[in-house]
A and B are shown apart, each in its own frame.
Chain A
Amino acid sequence: MKLAALPETGRYIARSVRQSLRLMVGLPDYDAYLSHMAATHPERAPMSYEAFFRERLEARYGAGKGRCC
């Protein structure tokens, strides 16, 4: 591995650990959600982070899972 790539690798590891810890408690990546919404449903306003957080919380522990599309 080249030395110049080190900060890049460090950032990747830090990001992965962060995402993994959040996913462990049922919260997927918010940025991924935003880019998905921008790419496939540009006409719809995406949920705010707070609404996204609540929606995921209910989906993780509540009944009746919703589905997209």
Chain B
Amino acid sequence: MQTLRRHLVWLAVAVLGAFALATVALTRGESVNALWVVTAAVCTYLIAYRYYSLFIADRVLGLDGTRMTPAYRHNDGLDYVPTDRNVLFGHHFAAIAGAGPLVGPVLAAQMGYLPGLLWVLAGVVFAGAVQDFIILFISTRRDGRSLGDLVKQEMGAVPGMIALFGTFMIMIIILAVLALIVVKALAESPWGTFTVAATIPVAVFMGVYLRYIRPGRIGEVSVIGFVLLMAAIFGGQAVSEHPAWAALFTFDGKALTWMLIGYGFVAASLPVWLLLAPRDYLSTFLKIGTIIALALGIVYVMPQLQMPALTQFAQGNGPVWSGSLFPFLFITIACGAVSGFHALISSGTTPKMLDNERNARFIGYGGMLAESFVAVMALVAASCIEPGVYFAMNSPAALVGSTAQQAAQTISGWGFVVTPEMLVQTAKDVGESTILGRAGGAPTLAVGMAHILHQVIGGQAMMAFWYHFAILFEALFILTAVDAGTRAGRFMLQDLLGSFVPALKRTDSLPANLFATALCVAAWGYFLYQGVVDPLGGINTLWPLFGISNQMLAAVALMLGVVVLFRMKRERYAWVAVAPAVWLLACTLTAGWQKIFSPDPKVGFLSHAAKYTEGLAGGVLVAPAKTPEAMARIVFNDRLDAALCTLFIFVVLSVLVYTVRACLAARAAHRPTVHETPYEPMGAAVGAR
């Protein structure tokens, strides 16, 4: 009876969730309120957290609350600090939540909101949160080591190196795709460009203030910075309305690309306190604030979803990205469902601050559920704007034409009725000259957020402000990521190249640093440029590469989890990690294979290249290329992307081979062969605290 009562409230949650999900999934022909989506998501999270994560904690991993954590063993008051679990949750969430969960679901909305929603919910419960949780557990039991070290330790030196190299390549792709999002959002937008450019002097001022005027007063300087940012948004409006000033801040994609590349190089070479750190404060606080504001806004406004549950593009052949639902939906939405990059965070600073092993469940599993909720909100924001507007913003000009008339006609022909006036009016509402061809997720999300938030504060007059606020918030943390990522990439590169040229390894040598930074910037800059000049919008090419590589890293992390479970002699429960790993392998390998070999030139890199080599051989110009040189460049880039895909497939397959070998060896052994730090009881250390 007692047990029954304990589960009764959860039964109610489950019934409510099932009802909400059924409403969302089965309603046809009339629009669904976003609140149903939110309810379905929250109920799913609650049930998954209460039951599945508890099962993983108790049965699968056997979390031990009496075991001393690295935070106590190595307590130094700096890196290793036992931290209250609620405090640590905030830290962990801020570290994993980035642009990913905001962009992927927006792109996936072309298939309708339902496929994306179902994958986000199922993915996070069975794959993403499991991965974050298990890696956090593994790292905590090994003094907070990093993912590369863990793979090396549990699987061997070769897979460790392979995983590290794979991580570096993924980072390059991520930086390129993030920078591309910024370029797409700021092209031909004086308002946005001015606002984002203004963040640089604002950050430098904050840096100087924190260093010399009032050292270390983060709260105070962040408030000042925030006020200056808001002023910059209004300043951007004034600039965009003044013809001469507007011309000064209007750039096309190519010009912005070169500026970003130059910016990346300079920012990564400056001392961290001057630009990187202060902007990191702004972007982190703004990110958290905006996420909370969006959640409140959705609950308060209760918008209707305008996007159908399923569109005809669920069959494949969508304008935003090509390919069928399987496997491409599952790599388009990475973060929010499952993201390999989190394995780097879960094996980074968080395990060094865990005050009790049992809290790995709340931080690892719970933190990922919270990130998934961000993805659900992004999906809601993208689905509550007019589908016609959504497709006009995200379809490349090569498909829908470059004027409002052409775009409206093409898109209405697809069944999403929209008039040229609506497109022009939307652009006017958000203070832009055009909204066409703004693929990449950020502008769409900004329109969606403006749509929701202007109903809370400001009304119609504030719509343009909210749009540029959203653009600023995304650009800000993307630029921070570009800056920090270039630095991290530089260190990795110096480490890697240092094995061959020892002089490059010295991180205190300025020429070595500048050389490695330049190399790193050139690498992501190349892919960025390729994406910007791509007539199909670039996102079409780069986002799948990012998705494939990110999900492959997740597969590697989950395979590490499988090996550790086998080595712990808990192979009975290994399916918890095996199942999502197999699913991710199936999705990424299929997607990788199709990206290389698909006969459809919209999907396959090689068949796309073949189309242009045939043209070159026959002396015919293949649209949208305008010169034979452009055609040759397309062919080269296609082959480069295909080679990159091959490399990723090689990385993940070789880790798979090592996983199977390690598991077989662990099974043959008669006792656990795991490399954990030996057990020490918690008692004495906690008392001494």
Interface residues of A (CB under 8 A from B): 16-29, 32-37, 39-40, 49-50, 52-69
Alpha-carbon distance A61/B219, docked complex (angstroms): 20
Do B216 and A28 touch (CB < 8 A)? no
The residues in B between 202 and 231 inclusive whose CB is less than 8 angstroms from any CB of A are 215-216, 218-219
Q: Is B30 an interface residue (CB 8 A)?
A: no
Q: A-facing mask of B63-90, CB < 8 A → 1, else 0?
A: 0000000000011111111011011111
Stretch at the interface among B192-200, B273-281, B356-364, B569-577: B273-281
Residues of A within 8 A of B281 (CB): 25
Do B78 and A57 touch (CB < 8 A)? no
Do B487 and A61 touch (CB < 8 A)? yes
Do A21 and B90 touch (CB < 8 A)? yes
Which DSSP category, helix, strand, loop or mixed, fits chain A's interface?
Answer: helix
Identify 18 residue pairs between A and B in the complex whose beta-carbon atoms are under 8 Å apart, listed by A's number: A16-B86, A19-B87, A20-B91, A24-B90, A24-B94, A34-B77, A35-B77, A36-B76, A49-B215, A49-B216, A54-B216, A61-B272, A61-B276, A61-B484, A66-B78, A68-B74, A69-B74, A69-B76
Residues of A within 8 A of B216 (CB): 49-50, 52-54
Interface size bracket, B side: 35 or more
From residue A55, how far is it (CB to closest CB) to chain B in Å?
7
Alpha-carbon distance A19/B75, docked complex (angstroms): 18
Q: Please give me the residue from chain A that is nearest to B80 by CB atom.
A: A68
Given contacts A60-B277, A61-B484, A61-B487, contact A23 B77 (CB under 8 A): no
Alpha-carbon distance A32/B86, docked complex (angstroms): 16
Alpha-carbon distance A61/B87, docked complex (angstroms): 21
10 pairs of A and B residues whose beta carbons are closest in the complex? A68-B76, A20-B90, A33-B77, A53-B216, A36-B77, A61-B272, A24-B94, A23-B91, A50-B215, A20-B87
Do B491 and A63 touch (CB < 8 A)? yes
Residues of B within 8 A of A65 (CB): 79
Alpha-carbon distance A29/B19, docked complex (angstroms): 44
Q: Please give me the residue from chain B that is nearest to A24 by CB atom.
A: B94
The residues in B between 485 and 541 inclusive whose CB is less than 8 angstroms from any CB of A are 487, 491, 507
Do A24 and B91 touch (CB < 8 A)? yes
Q: Is B346 an interface residue (CB 8 A)?
A: no
Do B285 and A21 touch (CB < 8 A)? yes
Alpha-carbon distance A23/B218, docked complex (angstroms): 11
Alpha-carbon distance A37/B78, docked complex (angstroms): 10
Alpha-carbon distance A24/B280, docked complex (angstroms): 10
Q: Please give me the residue from chain A that is nearest to B86 by CB atom.
A: A16
Do A24 and B284 touch (CB < 8 A)? yes
Residues of B within 8 A of A66 (CB): 78
Residues of B within 8 A of A28 (CB): 77-78, 81, 83, 353
From residue A4, how far is it (CB to closest CB) to chain B in Å?
22
Alpha-carbon distance A13/B215, docked complex (angstroms): 26
A-B contact sample (8 more), CB < 8 A, given A23-B87, A32-B81, A58-B272: A16-B87, A19-B87, A21-B90, A23-B88, A24-B285, A57-B272, A67-B79, A68-B75
Alpha-carbon distance A63/B315, docked complex (angstroms): 48
Given contacts A25-B284, A27-B218, A61-B277, contact A36 B87 (CB under 8 A): no
Alpha-carbon distance A52/B79, docked complex (angstroms): 12
Alpha-carbon distance A64/B491, docked complex (angstroms): 10
From residue A20, how far is it (CB to closest CB) to chain B in Å?
3
Alpha-carbon distance A66/B76, docked complex (angstroms): 10
Q: Is B238 an interface residue (CB 8 A)?
A: no
Alpha-carbon distance A23/B352, docked complex (angstroms): 13
Q: Please give me the residue from chain B that is nearest to A56 by CB atom.
A: B78
